[in-house]
Amino acid sequence: MSGRNLLLAAIGVCPTVALADVEATTLVPLATDFVSGEMRTYSHEGQTHSILIEAKTDYGDDLPYLFNCTHPAVQCRMEFTGDEYSYLLDIRDGVVTIVTQSTTDDFTNTDTFRIAESQ
């Protein structure tokens, strides 16, 4: 069987792949030191599995926050093994809140954004 026929045969027996959905949203800073933000929500078959927020600082850096949202009973979280901080994401009533908590002391910081209106 030629390579092309083999490829066509493989395509014919593969199940239909459900595509992921990505929704991009602009964030407007409310109570935060960030000057702007962008949020991308990644979903598969209607279930959000992760959210990426890129927030721009007043000194020009873009800070990425990649939240795991795979367990529906738990808030979206971002944690790294050995890191001293955990990050929680809350989205409600058009407001996006990122809570940074230290795992070694009582430091907590909250950054709040408003989801921009669609045009």
- At 81-109, the pLDDT tens digits run 788 999 999 999 999 999 999 989 999 99
Average pLDDT on 73-79 reads 81
CATH classification at residue 83: 2.40.128
Q: Compute the mean pLDDT over every residue in the chain, rounded to the nearest whole number.
A: 84
Output the pTM of the full model.
Answer: 0.77
Say if residues 67 and 78 touch (Cβ distance below 8 Å): yes
pLDDT in tens, 1-48: 554 444 444 444 445 455 679 999 999 999 999 999 999 999 988 888
For residue 65, tell me if it sits in a domain. yes
Task: Give dist(CA 90, CA 65) in Å, integer.
Answer: 13
Residue 7 placed within a domain: no
Is residue 5 domain-resident?
no
Residue 11 lies in a domain: no
Q: How many domains does the chain have?
A: 1
**CA angle 72–27–18, rounded 5-degree value:** 45
Is 48 within the bounds of a domain? yes
Q: Which of 94, 41, 93 is nearest to 68 (CA)?
A: 41
The residue range of the domain holding 78 is: 19-115
Evaluate whether residue 23 is within a structural domain.
Answer: yes
